[in-house]
Amino acid sequence: MEENLLATAATNGAVVTWNLGKPSRNKQDQLYTEHKRTVNKVCFHPTEVYMLLSGSQDGFMKCFDLRKKESVSTFSGQSESVRDVQFSVKDYFTFAASFENGNVQLWDIRRPDRFERMFTAHTGPVFCCDWHPDDRGWLATGGRDKMVKVWDMTTNRAKEIYCVQTIASVARVKWRPERKFHLATCSMMVDHNIYVWDIRRPFIPFATFEEHKDVTTGIVWRHQHDPHFLLSGSKDSTLYQHMFKDATRPVDKANPEGLCFGLMGDLAFAVNDSLISSDTTRKPYPGGDRRYPFFSFKKANPTEQFAHVSSALSVFETILDSHRMDWFVKTAQLYLLSGKPFVELCDHNAKVAQELKRPQVSTTWTMLRIMFSDPANLAAPTPNHNLSKLGSLPLMNSFSMKEMASGMGAESRLERSKGESRQDNIHLDWLDHSHRFLFNPMSENEETEGSEGPAEYMFGDAELDDDELYSMDHDNQAAEEPEYTLPQEAFQLRHEIMDNPSAPEPLQQDKADSPHVSGNEAEVTCLTPIESFSLISISQPLFSPHLSASFFSPIVREMLSYYAEQGDVQMAVSVLIVLGEKIRKEIDELTQEHWYMSYIDLLQRFELWNVSNEVIKLSTCNAITCLNQTSTTLHINCSNCKRPMSNKGWICDRCRQCASVCAVCHHVVKGLFVWCQGCSHGGHLEHIMNWLKSSAYCPAGCGHLCEYT
Amino acid sequence: MSEEGINVPRALASGPSAFIPAKELLIDGPNQDILIESFLSLGRVDHLTMVMALHPAYLSCYQRTQHALLELDGPLPCHWRHYIAILAAARHHCAYLVHQHSAGFLEAGGEEGWLCSLRHAPTKLRSLQTLNKLLAHRPWLITQQHIQELVSPGAEPRWSLAELIHAVILMAHTHSLCSFVWGCGLNPEPDHVGGYTFQPSSPGHLPRSPHSPAHEDGRPELVDGEVEVELLMKRMVELQQQQECTQEEMVTRFERERSESIPTALVRGAPPGLVLCLVEEPEFRYEDFAPRGEQSPHIMRAQDYSWEDHGFSLVNRLLPDMGQLLDEKFQVVSGLTYHRMAMHEDVDTCTLRKALWNYIHCLYGIRYDDYDYGGVNVLLERSLKVFVKTMACHPEQTTARIYHAFWRHFRHSEKVHANLIVMEARLQAALLYTLRAITYYMR
């Protein structure tokens, strides 16, 4: 109202007014030293020039008339310090005060004896409040609990209508003029930015100002009808006038996405259109990636200044069979990770994998055994022994090959049936081609391997065959994991084409046209070299037995990453644990941790608690082993009075009786406690088991026919 | 067992505290429940708990904090937490806490070797020593650089901010607990070294605790004591009506309080070897915030960095729940009152408590703009100041004489109350300096 009038509050409790219009050097107008402690806030009345309100740490609010030497009235909050006072813009007599204990009080300026209304707004101090400039019922409050809340005060009880969660305690909140739903906030700790929120969109700030280098201490809109200028002061000794058009809009950078799981494991995923089209390397999902037209459309609200994005909704349906994870569960249960010599562990795991028809994994285990078992062991025995030992490996491979021949037929059938349901015709076509194609070299190979496979290994000149051998192993693996079938076959196909110029050209054309394949090539190309390399190196210990195991580490490292990339994090982790010290240093902590976490997560999802615990125990990452120390709290209720047991002992503090007494021996159960779900009596596991051998009724004598699973 | 020729040790201490007669402590009453509860949860009721049980409201939130700091989920492994507490307690030569935490440390699976010498502990733990030293004796010297040395990406071994906050709170908590232990003259537990003897008790020879060469029950009864209390009460009332004075005068008064020389240099014998081997630079001690005639370090203005506005947010951000627990503890202490003083009932002790709190912060160089430090001088008699300063700054030098010299007509429970205030004020002051340094580092 009065341009030249200024009021300040000091930490020592003084309230000072200044008149800039004074001709003298000293502009000080009035000095009130009525408050005993720090004054946190002063506020002019929106229409009365001479009315000033102050709120102080001592719990008092005082109203001053600037024409008088002393305060007109004093309001006692009856509690701790006042953090903010604000006159209502629309109601002449009303003001709001916020308190350190989380309360907000409404006062009538004419009634200093007691407040009109009080409610608890936040946990911890309420640092600030602000009345909506247009809507008379709305009050915004901000607190140390990192929330901004908007209250509707028109109803009997103050009702929270909006809530914005920020990342730091809220020091100031100011409604943006002329914009009904906008407010600006700043924090007094850690975060230096100023945010402008649209309270209807509480998850992402509408605009941010990031100029300040230290915490912002105050913000104010420059003019009460101009939404474009914001002034802010900061501890970095700067004062900024922000133009609204300069603000960063975090919304522009955010990718609107929605993700939801359905009841049957279906997955719906909505994302901005532009993102999908740009992302050509996306992996196709074998279960079918059905795009649905986006049919629900929200009518654009002109007052909402939010960009509307058209998004594509994809629904991924789970096909039960293809997603069977039996092999995962079985492997997890059967793998041995510790407790035996390294060689035996490898052999055992190789066998497990073999039985589950995963020859690639099995071979990997065998190779690991050869690579990392003591070179002295390999070198010392007679050459004969050496030979037989080495011979076992290729032999096994050729076996797997035979199995594969039959496996392949099955696979193509499987593919075809799948193709019928999901894939389009072209797809099916080249799949068939590729199958036919694959069968040929394989039968050739089979012959070769059957007769002179071991010999080839001995002389180490079977590179080409190795290649084929291994790529075939992939195929076989793929039979169990149809989701990987497409890319690998595609790759194989091309190799053949290159090797045999007679291959039909159009086929390749076909393949190149298919967008699915192109995306995966990169991944697959790295695959074959690794495998063939490792094969070559296997033969090396034979000739130079002194080669240290660390020579293989890079290869093994790549192998592990490969498995992890392929989604078989189980393999990666198992190998990591079995190899232990031999490989641990080669892989950086973070990756290891990541693998462990994913594997443990998977195990827990399949409810393989024991295995997951074993993995946690055996892991060498600090971050993982400490998982076992978290969430070890168990909340129990007393069996007598059904109240939660607060203390740690065996006696309930309410009914003063021992909780969880064994119904058989009447002692407190301190170990495993079993109880009947029907009558809730129970006791020591052993006692109950013995009891049930003789009687089917409850040992407590309640007459219930107990059932234990 | 004696018949079988096994030496049966005999507890030396006659009660939980060397200063407070045991009969004052073991009264039936509201604190009974909390003692039962703590017995159930810890398996024993130690001397500390017994003394603290004079103020059950405080004890329960103290135990919650202690539990959260040492047992619940947190960034540091359990045996590390105990070891950090041991290091902190050793700074104040507090054998009592060193013993308590050594037991906890071994229970949590710590290596025995660490207890013999610092050299056996990991470098990461040893790198805390500077911070521990400063935090214990001169927290105002802690700067951003100290934090940076531990946390910055180049630091080896590196602390994460959450770990560091956890360690800092542990240390500050233990330091202030040392003040309490010394200030209440706690006797060693029967299972501590020095807490038992194999010699049969000889009649006429009273068992001596290591604390007190002085008489136990010889509280001199003074006739004018009653007058003293009344005088104090009158002053408290007067003070509330006193006129405001100028800002300059306020600052002068603060300076006067701060630099007033309170003799505390009462050197006691060397600490037990068990403790000494865990202390680096044992000669680093408290020095007055700014000795006269020297350039004083910047005082901290409470308005610039306060627990409510700044400290809480930072702690809660890095160590969820801990901020809440500490906040609760500070609030309980600042609100704790039984509306009585010595023999008088219905007294508002608010000003006295405030004076005590602010005096300790003043010793640590924290100034409240809105507090008139003249009040400290009026309300706190010199003997009380000696006690408070000794306890807050050189807790290991507290003696029974100092304890008995102040507030001669007050109850023991009231003296323990004063102890609690000193302890929490000290904790907050130390935390504020460290948290400020961390905030500056994060900026």
**Structure ipTM:** 0.72
Quote the CA–CA distance of A119 and A125 in Å, as a whole number. Answer: 13
Phi, psi of B368 (to 5 degrees): -100, 120
- Candidate from A144, A213, A633 with C-beta closest to B312: A144
Nearest to A42 by CA among A57, A22, A56: A56
Q: Does A626 touch chain B (CB under 8 A)?
A: yes
**B439 to chain A: which residues are within 8 Å by CB?**
189-190
Q: What is the percent of chain A where pLDDT is above 90?
A: 5
**A188 to chain B: which residues are within 8 Å by CB?**
309-310, 313
Hey, what are A441's tokens?
Answer: 């070299």
Q: How far is B161 from chain A (nearest CA, A)?
A: 13
Cβ density class A538-552: b for 16+ within 10 Å, e for less: bbebbeeeeeebeeb
Say whether pLDDT at A627 is over 60: yes
Say whether pLDDT at A544 is over 70: no
- Candidate from A190, A213, A626 with C-beta closest to B313: A190
Say whether B370 and A13 touch across the interface (CB within 8 A): yes
Nearest to B72 by CA among B157, B177, B179, B170: B170
Q: Does B77 touch chain A (CB under 8 A)?
A: yes
Quote the CA–CA distance of A181 and A198 in Å, as a whole number. Answer: 5
**pTM score, whole prediction:** 0.61
- Candidate from A10, A38, A648 with C-beta closest to B40: A648
Q: Is the Cβ–Cβ distance between A556 and A575 less than 8 Å?
A: yes
Say whether A649 and B314 touch across the interface (CB within 8 A): no
At residue B432, the pLDDT reads 92
For A64, what's the count of Cα atoms within 13 Å in the CB-facing half-sphere? 26
Q: Does A654 touch chain B (CB under 8 A)?
A: no
Of A337-346, A367-376, A664-673, B171-180, the range with the lowest mean pLDDT is: A367-376
- Report CA A503 to chain centroid distance, whole Å: 48
Ranges in chain B, pLDDT < 50: 203-223
- Candidate from B308, B439, B443 with C-beta closest to A125: B308
Q: Catalytic pick from B61, B78, B94, B178? A: B94
Q: Does A630 touch chain B (CB under 8 A)?
A: yes
At residue B289, the pLDDT reads 66
Averaged pLDDT score across all residues of chain A: 70
Say whether B40 and A647 touch across the interface (CB within 8 A): yes
Say whether A37 and B443 touch across the interface (CB within 8 A): no
If you average pLDDT over each of A22-26, A493-497, B320-324, B402-406, which comes out highest?
A: B320-324
Hey, what are A278's tokens?
Answer: 């740009």
- Candidate from A190, A630, A648 with C-beta closest to B442: A190
At residue A392, the pLDDT reads 39
Which residue matches tokens 């002389």? Answer: A459
Interface test with A, best of B313, B331, B367, B442 (most A CBs within 10 A): B313
Say whether A649 and B41 touch across the interface (CB within 8 A): yes
Q: Does A144 touch chain B (CB under 8 A)?
A: yes
Say whether A626 and B77 touch across the interface (CB within 8 A): yes
Quote the CA–CA distance of A435 and A427 in Å, as a whole number. Answer: 12
Hey, what are B176's tokens?
Answer: 């202030």
Q: How far is A169 from chain B (nearest CA, A)?
A: 7
- Candidate from B250, B301, B313 with C-beta closest to A168: B313
Nearest to A86 by CA among A113, A59, A104, A112: A104
The residue of chain A with its CA nearest to that of B308 is: A125
Hey, what are B24's tokens?
Answer: 């004052």
Task: Name, in order, each residue with C-beta under 8 angstroms of B69's C-beta and a sequence gap of 6 or more.
Answer: B81, B166, B169, B170, B173, B322
Which pLDDT tens digit goes with each residue over A97-136? 999 888 999 998 888 888 888 899 998 889 999 998 887 7
**A626 to chain B: which residues are within 8 Å by CB?**
77
Quote the CA–CA distance of B406 and A60 in Å, as a whole number. Answer: 35
Which run of H or E residues covers position B241? Answer: helix B225-241
Higher-pLDDT residue of A677, A275 = A677
The pLDDT of A476-483, averaged and rounded, is 42
**Judging by DSSP bridges, how do beta strands B344-345 and B340-341 pair with one another?**
antiparallel
At residue A519, the pLDDT reads 38
Say whether B308 and A626 touch across the interface (CB within 8 A): no
Q: How far is A167 from chain B (nearest CA, A)?
A: 9
- Report CA A656 to chain centroid distance, whole Å: 44
Q: Is the Cβ–Cβ distance between B157 and B122 less than 8 Å?
A: yes
**A12 to chain B: which residues are within 8 Å by CB?**
247, 250, 369-370
**A647 to chain B: which residues are within 8 Å by CB?**
37, 40-41
3-state secondary structure of A268: strand
At residue A277, the pLDDT reads 54
DSSP code at position B347: -
Phi-psi region of A139 (alpha: psi -120 to 50; beta: other; left: phi over 0): beta
- Chain B residues 290-309 with a CB less than 8 Å from chain A: 301, 303, 308-309
**B312 to chain A: which residues are within 8 Å by CB?**
124, 144
**A37 to chain B: which residues are within 8 Å by CB?**
370-371
Say whether pLDDT at A709 is over 80: no
Say whether B77 and A629 touch across the interface (CB within 8 A): yes
Say whether A626 and B442 touch across the interface (CB within 8 A): no
Active site residue B277: no
Q: How far is B119 from chain A (nearest CA, A)?
A: 22
If you average pLDDT over each of A278-287, A307-316, A387-396, which comes out highest?
A: A307-316
At residue A447, the pLDDT reads 40
Q: Is the Cβ–Cβ distance between A383 and A455 less than 8 Å?
A: no
For A497, what's the count of Cα atoms within 13 Å in the CB-facing half-sphere? 17
Quote the CA–CA distance of A103 and A120 in Å, as a whole number. Answer: 4
Say whether A190 and B314 touch across the interface (CB within 8 A): yes
Nearest to B80 by CA among B153, B139, B159: B159
Q: What is the identity of the amino acid at A619?
A: S
DSSP code at position B202: P
Q: Does A10 touch chain B (CB under 8 A)?
A: yes
The pLDDT of A554-578, averaged and rounded, is 81
Quote the CA–CA distance of A275 and A277 in Å, as a whole number. Answer: 6
Say whether B439 and A188 touch across the interface (CB within 8 A): no
- Chain B residues 120-149 with a CB less than 8 Å from chain A: none
Q: What is the percent of chain A where pLDDT is above 70?
A: 62
Higher-pLDDT residue of A295, A645 = A645
The residue of chain B with its CA nearest to that of A58 is: B370
Say whether pLDDT at A88 is over 50: yes
- Candidate from A33, A100, A125 with C-beta closest to B244: A33
Say whether B77 and A653 touch across the interface (CB within 8 A): no
Q: Does B32 touch chain A (CB under 8 A)?
A: no
Say whether pLDDT at A636 is over 50: yes
The residue of chain A with its CA nearest to that of B312 is: A144
Q: Does A657 touch chain B (CB under 8 A)?
A: no
Say whether B370 and A647 touch across the interface (CB within 8 A): no
